[in-house]
C-alpha cells in the first residue's frame, strides 16, 4: 500500500471510530423511546414487541450493555442517561 493510501485509511479510521462511538451513545435515547412506547401500547392493545425484532429486550440489553454497566456504576452518568432517555421519549411521543 502506498504511503498516501495508508494515510487516507488512517485518517478515515481516525474520524470514523469517534463518530460511530458518538452515534452509538446517542442512539440509546430513541431506541429506549421506541421500546417504552411499545410496552405502554402493549398494556392497552395486547401487542408486545416481537421477540425476533431488533427491539426485543435481549438484543437491546446486550447491544447497550457497556452503557448500562457504566450507568449502574457511575451515579452521574446514570442520571444523565436516564434524563436523556426520558427526554427522547418526550420529544418523540409526547408532542
pTM: 0.72
Burial (CB < 10 A; 0-12, 13-18, 19+), residue 81, is buried
Domain regions of the chain by residue span: 27-93
* Residues 9-47 pLDDT 10s: 999 999 999 999 999 999 999 988 888 887 777 665 544
Cell numbers at 55, concatenated: 427491539
The overall average pLDDT reported for the chain is 84
Amino acid at each position: 500500500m502506498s504511503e498516501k493510501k495508508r494515510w487516507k485509511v488512517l485518517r478515515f479510521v481516525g474520524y470514523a471510530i469517534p463518530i460511530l462511538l458518538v452515534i452509538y451513545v446517542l442512539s440509546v435515547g430513541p431506541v429506549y423511546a421506541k421500546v417504552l412506547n411499545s410496552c405502554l401500547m402493549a398494556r392497552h392493545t395486547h401487542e408486545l414487541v416481537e421477540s425476533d425484532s431488533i427491539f426485543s429486550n435481549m438484543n437491546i440489553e446486550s447491544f447497550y450493555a457497556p452503557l448500562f454497566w457504566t450507568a449502574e456504576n457511575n451515579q452521574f452518568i446514570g442520571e444523565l442517561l436516564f434524563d436523556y432517555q426520558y427526554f427522547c421519549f418526550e420529544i418523540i411521543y409526547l408532542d
